[in-house]
Amino acid sequence: MQLLDEMKSHNVLGQLFCGMIPQNEAVSYSHHNHLSVFNYEPKAAASVAYGELVANIVRQKARQKAS
């Protein structure tokens, strides 16, 4: 977590999307079954984290477009 906090506070790296996607069996199993992790196990920690990442990207892009 310390490394993540340092990256977020960095002038350049802080502009990147920083976050943690937890390692989870659902990710490997969904990939093996040719399914989205959202379809395979939507309540898995990794699914939730990926969903939050996507929501953050959409919000940031919407703010950029509005500016």
Residue closest to 24 by CA, chosen among 6, 3, 49, 2: 49
30-56 residue pLDDT tens: 999 999 999 999 999 999 999 998 898
11-30 residue pLDDT tens: 766 666 666 788 889 999 99
SS3 42: coil
What are 64's two structure tokens? Answer: 């950029």
Q: How far is CA 36 from CA 17, 19, 24, in A?
A: 21, 20, 13
18: number of CA atoms within 13 Å, CB side?
15
What are 60's two structure tokens? Answer: 């940031």
- This prediction has a pTM of 0.70
Tell me how far apart the alpha carbons of residues 3 and 9 are, in angstroms, rounded to a whole number: 10
